[in-house]
């Protein structure tokens, strides 16, 4: 991150936040309570719970965080697609009890199970027999995803690592790949707005071209995730300048899923709490009829 961006961010008195975290309710390895405890040890003032297409972890995180004085930003990361490209949309300050969000999550979970069944059948057709019951067990309280299938493949001895499971079987273009259920970016943005939240494009530096990003901004995005483990310093600065030019909010975080893959970025990609203050101000303006 260059000097101009450091100066612009500064070090706010309010502290620091990680606005992109996953729990066992999607494809993370830690329950919300453990995520909160880790955030406390790292001295974070606020965290964003943004499970993939799931909201069940928000209430548990809030309960665990309240006595510790940590703020939980209720969020979600929606799976969307346009022109065969995967576009993840982050929602911040959503109402997890919103009827439309709840309905979407229910549909998504049902589609996830159907996808897992198809993957199991594809694996079986190439001589790799892994039982759906084991995958469901691995998913626990969360929506079933490919990481849980990778865990099952490891337990059954078909692969030695999580990465090998994806490389040999589960990644796009591999023998057992099945695309997941997705909605359009516009539907995702509208869903987040209907739930009272703010919509941000997640990690746009991972393959999104500038013209594509501009098109998504025109759909009604409120902000851009600028800080992410897959963004280099140049990308972060470019995205920040684009957000300023377009009058957009900014966010960022570790995108931590725990240590399933031997990595844990929690605490390494923090953003100033001022980012949250800016979101709250934008929501106040919206509620007053002056924004969005």
The CATH number of whichever domain residue 277 belongs to comes to: 3.20.20.140
Q: Which percentage of the chain shows pLDDT scores above 90?
A: 76
Under the banding of pLDDT at 50, 70 and 90, the label for residue 87 is: very high
User: What is the pLDDT, as a whole number, of residue 260?
Assistant: 64
User: What is the pLDDT, as a whole number, of residue 34?
Assistant: 95
pLDDT surpasses 60 at 1: no
Q: Which residues contact 171 (CB under 8 A, 6 or more apart)?
A: 177
User: What is the pLDDT, as a whole number, of residue 11?
Assistant: 45
pLDDT tens by residue, 6-51: 334 444 446 999 999 999 998 888 999 999 999 999 999 999 999 9
Q: What is the mean pLDDT of residues 281-292?
A: 80
As to burial, measured by CB atoms within 10 angstroms (0-12 exposed, 13-18 middle, 19+ buried), residue 194 is middle
Q: Is the dihedral of CA 74, 232, 27, 183 positive or negative?
A: positive
User: What is the pLDDT, as a whole number, of residue 262?
Assistant: 53
Spatial distance between the Cα atoms of 215 and 127, rounded to a whole number of angstroms: 44
* Within a domain: 261: yes
Closest by alpha carbon to 144, among 166, 123, 172, 113? 113
User: What is the pLDDT, as a whole number, of residue 259?
Assistant: 75
* Within a domain: 167: no
Backbone angles phi, psi at 251, to 5 degrees: -145, 180
Q: Which residue has the higher pLDDT, 60 or 142?
A: 60
Under the banding of pLDDT at 50, 70 and 90, the label for residue 181 is: confident
User: What is the pLDDT, as a whole number, of residue 290?
Assistant: 55
* Within a domain: 120: no
Mean pLDDT, the chain, rounded, equals 90
Spatial distance between the Cα atoms of 155 and 30, rounded to a whole number of angstroms: 19
Residue 71 bridge partners (DSSP): 46
pLDDT surpasses 70 at 4: no
User: What is the pLDDT, as a whole number, of residue 3?
Assistant: 32
How many domains in the chain?
1
* Within a domain: 206: yes
Q: Which helix (H) or strand (E) holds 81?
A: strand 71-82
From first CA to last CA, the distance across the chain in angstroms is 30
Q: Which residues contact 282 (CB under 8 A, 6 or more apart)?
A: 198, 222, 249, 291, 292
Backbone angles phi, psi at 169, to 5 degrees: -130, -40
Backbone angles phi, psi at 233, to 5 degrees: -65, -40
* Within a domain: 173: no
pLDDT surpasses 50 at 166: yes
pLDDT surpasses 80 at 289: no
User: What is the pLDDT, as a whole number, of residue 63?
Assistant: 98
* Within a domain: 46: yes
As to burial, measured by CB atoms within 10 angstroms (0-12 exposed, 13-18 middle, 19+ buried), residue 9 is middle
Q: Which helix (H) or strand (E) holds 99?
A: helix 99-125
Under the banding of pLDDT at 50, 70 and 90, the label for residue 151 is: very high
Find the domain containing 269 and state its range: 3-105+181-287
The 10 Å Cβ neighbour count of residue 141 is 12
Which pairing describes strands 271-272 and 16-21: parallel, antiparallel, or unpaired?
A: antiparallel
Spatial distance between the Cα atoms of 233 and 251, rounded to a whole number of angstroms: 15
- Tokens for 203, please give them: 């990690």
User: What is the pLDDT, as a whole number, of residue 8?
Assistant: 40
* Within a domain: 248: yes
DSSP assignment string, 194-249: HTT-EEEE--TTTT--HHHHHHHHHTT--EEEEE-TT--HHHHHHHHHHHHHHT-E
* Within a domain: 38: yes
pLDDT surpasses 60 at 121: yes
Q: Which percentage of the chain shows pLDDT scores above 70?
A: 93
Closest by alpha carbon to 20, among 230, 214, 207? 230
User: What is the pLDDT, as a whole number, of residue 208?
Assistant: 86
């Amino acid at each position: 991150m260059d000097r101009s961006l450091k100066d612009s961010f500064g070090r706010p008195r309010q502290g620091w936040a990680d606005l992109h975290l996953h729990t066992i309710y999607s494809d993370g390895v830690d329950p919300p309570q453990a995520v909160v405890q880790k955030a406390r040890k790292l001295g974070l003032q606020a965290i964003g719970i943004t499970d993939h297409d799931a909201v069940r972890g928000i209430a548990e995180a809030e309960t665990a965080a309240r006595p510790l004085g940590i703020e939980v930003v209720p969020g979600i990361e929606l799976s969307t697609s346009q022109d065969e490209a995967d576009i993840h949309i982050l929602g911040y300050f959503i109402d997890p009890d919103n009827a439309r969000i709840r309905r979407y999550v229910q549909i998504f979970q049902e589609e996830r199970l159907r996808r897992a069944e198809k993957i199991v059948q594809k694996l079986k057709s190439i001589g790799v027999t892994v039982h759906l019951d084991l995958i469901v067990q691995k998913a626990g309280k969360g929506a079933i995803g490919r990481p849980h299938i990778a865990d099952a493949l490891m337990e059954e001895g078909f692969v030695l690592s999580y990465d090998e499971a994806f490389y040999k079987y589960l990644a796009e273009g591999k023998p057992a790949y099945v695309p997941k259920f997705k909605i359009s970016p516009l539907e995702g943005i509208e869903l987040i707005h209907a739930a009272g939240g703010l919509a941000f494009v997640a990690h746009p530096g991972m393959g999104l071209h500038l013209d594509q990003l501009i098109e998504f901004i025109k759909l009604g995005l409120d902000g851009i995730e600028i800080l992410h483990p897959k963004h280099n310093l140049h990308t972060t600065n470019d995205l920040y300048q684009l957000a300023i030019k377009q009058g957009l909010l900014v966010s960022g975080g570790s995108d931590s899923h725990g240590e399933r893959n031997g990595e844990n970025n929690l605490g390494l990609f923090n953003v100033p709490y001022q980012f949250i203050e800016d979101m709250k101000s934008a929501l106040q303006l919206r509620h007053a009829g002056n924004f969005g």
